[in-house]
Structure 1
Amino acid sequence: MTEVAFLTVAEVASVMRVSKMTVYRLVHSGHLPAIRVGRAFRVPEEAVHEYLRESYLGVEVGGERPSDGA
């Protein structure tokens, strides 16, 4: 069984260079998967990297695709 590394909201915010509120919004909107541990959220580290890869490449994320202005 492989071990999954989980990050706190603060750690995710640091990796993504955004605010903690932005991370909470991504979690609540379903764009970033997370589990609840008590009152806190933990996000799988691989999910953060996947989200960033998809966002960077402009791949469809959560049913939305960035507008190209055309």
Structure 2
Amino acid sequence: MGAGIPEQRSGQDAPFLTVAEVAERMRVSRMTVYRLVHSGELPAVRFGRSFRVPPGSVESLIESARYTGS
């Protein structure tokens, strides 16, 4: 790795995911992620003008949305 450049981490190891990373992981648009954040369905932290999402929040949302059929 180059001096002073942090090593790229995988999404699960990172303390927070960007909206774009969440959208890619869930295979939805970034606007869908923003809607989930603003509705309170997806917990997020605001840093300045951007949102960051804890990876566990994404996994919890996916698990709660799982459809098993009847």
For the aligned pair, the TM-score class normalised by the smaller chain equals 0.7 to 0.9
Unaligned runs of 5+ in 1: 59-67
Q: 1:48 aligns with which of 33, 50, 58?
A: 58
The whole-number CA distance in structure 2 between the counterparts of 1:8 and 1:57 is: 26
Q: Secondary structure at the match of 2:66?
A: helix
**Percentage of matched positions with identical amino acids:** 58
**Across the two proteins, how many residue pairs are aligned to each other?**
57
**TM-score normalised by L of structure 1:** 0.74
Unaligned runs of 5+ in 2: 1-12
**TM-score normalised by L of structure 2:** 0.74
The whole-number CA distance in structure 1 between the counterparts of 2:48 and 2:67 is: 34
Q: Tell me the C-alpha RMSD between the 2 structures.
A: 2.0
Give the structure 1 partner of residue 34 of structure 2: 24
Give the structure 1 partner of residue 47 of structure 2: 37
Higher helix share: 1
The whole-number CA distance in structure 2 between the counterparts of 1:31 and 1:43 is: 12
Give the structure 1 partner of residue 20 of structure 2: 10
**Structure 1 runs, 4 residues or longer, greater than 6 Å off:** none
Q: Larger C-alpha radius of gyration, 1 or 2?
A: 2
